Amino acid sequence: MSALLTTPRPTSAATGGSPRPGVARPRSLARGIGVQVVLWAYAGVAFGPLLLVLIGSFRSNADILRAPVGLPSSFDVSNYTRAWETASISTYFLNSLAVTAASVVLCVGVSALAAYALARWRFRGRALLAAFFLSGLMIPAKLGLLPVFYMFQSMNLIDSRIGLVLLYAASGVPFSVFVIMGFMRGLPGELEEAARIDGAHEGRLFVSIVLPLMRPALAVVTVFQFAPTWNDFFYPLVLLRSSEKYTIPVGLTRFFGEFAADRGTLFAGLVIALVPLAVVFALATRQIVAGLTAGMSK
């Protein structure tokens, strides 16, 4: 009697339910393979020219002219020696390194102090001051080139690397303050309160407590300040007059004109110009990911 009253359980297909896991697995696997193929194809398109430049920097000019794409017969570093010494890449490289490093340090230092004060302190006019900093994001810096030029001329900063440092640092402050201030507002203030209770003054608190917590945000603003400053062609072209003060983007234009027929030396110069960017991105990648994913995990 009980056997007659027992009815078979309906299948998922009959009830319109979700398909069995075995059916969905091939689709998800195919989707994952498709995504991987697209990503590797994009990586090949993006890094393919860079790889060709790197390989070409170790080839002789005769080999490049005979076969533009190919592996070097022997890894010869004479192209790098010629680019560094004969083509004055060393001068341009060191100028860019000094200007970029000084502007990044100045910009990040000022922005960290300002963002900490705006995010943690309560004082009259704080909102107005924050709006003043952030208003710099709405105005392209290059639109103010003429006033900046006349101001630098009155201050004797034309053809001066110090003027470039000040200009780059000031132009990067609005974005840096915006990023660091947003990051600071998402951090709990219990550690700072505990340090104040223990008798730490604001300078000690900032150096020992706040700066380590800021490290992901500082890495983000460092990369975003370093890359455009290193690659900038416009301001050095307008504000510098002496060739011995040129940065790497402006110096490469002269370099291309002098060594247009020597492809191996050209490739070596391009690789030298790309090395600092690659190093900075490699060192800051972990901190950048930590800054972008902060607060996503409980």
**pLDDT recorded at residue 1:** 43
- For residue 135, the Cα-to-chain-centroid distance in whole angstroms is 22
The pLDDT of residue 216 is 84
Geometric angle at alpha carbon 149, from 148 and 155, rounded to 5°: 90
| pLDDT, position 269 | 87
Q: Which two tokens stand for residue 8?
A: 């078979």
Q: What is the pLDDT of residue 296?
A: 44
Q: Which of 87, 102, 228, 222 is nearest to 160 (CA)?
A: 102
Domains (range + CATH), the chain: 83-292 (1.10.3720.10)
pLDDT for position 20: 55
pLDDT, tens only, 148-195:
889 899 999 898 999 999 999 999 999 999 888 888 888 777 777 777
Helices 89-120 and 161-185: crossing angle in degrees, nearest 10, is: 40
What pLDDT does residue 290 have? 61
How far, in Å, CA of 130 to CA of 56, rounded?
Answer: 49
Kindly give the parts of the chain with pLDDT less than 70.
1-25, 287-298
